[in-house]
Amino acid sequence: MTKQAKATLPKFKNEAAESAFWEAKGRDSTEYLDWSKAQRTVLPNLKPSTRTISLRLPQHLLDALKAAANSRDVPYQSLIKVWLQEKLHTR
């Protein structure tokens, strides 16, 4: 079901005026959207968000990971991410 826009979006003098407009009580952006004109967009340069974790590894395992990464000329943390991703997709 598509929803037709009910109102025309006003022209704003500056960002502060636009901000005040959208912050007005009861303001709903859906009044200004016409979903029949919506198009899918691909944003190829977006990077997935990441989260920092702490992972405790035995020293010999960390040394082996660093050696493997060094032989491939990549950072060891990047190699860990690649290997984890590969392992998850082979299930």
Give, as one character, the DSSP assignment of residue 9.
Answer: P
Block residue for tokens 């009861």: 26
User: Whole-model pTM?
Assistant: 0.49
Instruction: Give domain limits for the chain.
Output: 1-39, 43-91
User: What digits encode the pLDDT tens for the residues 9-55?
Assistant: 889 999 999 999 988 877 877 788 777 888 999 888 888 888 999 99
Cα(8)–Cα(33) distance, integer angstroms: 9
What stretches of 15-58 show up as alpha helix (H) in DSSP? 15-23
Q: Indicate the fold that domain 43-91 takes in CATH.
A: Arc Repressor Mutant (1.10.1220)
Contact 7, 32 (CB under 8 A): yes
User: What digits encode the pLDDT tens for the residues 56-78?
Assistant: 999 999 999 999 999 999 999 99
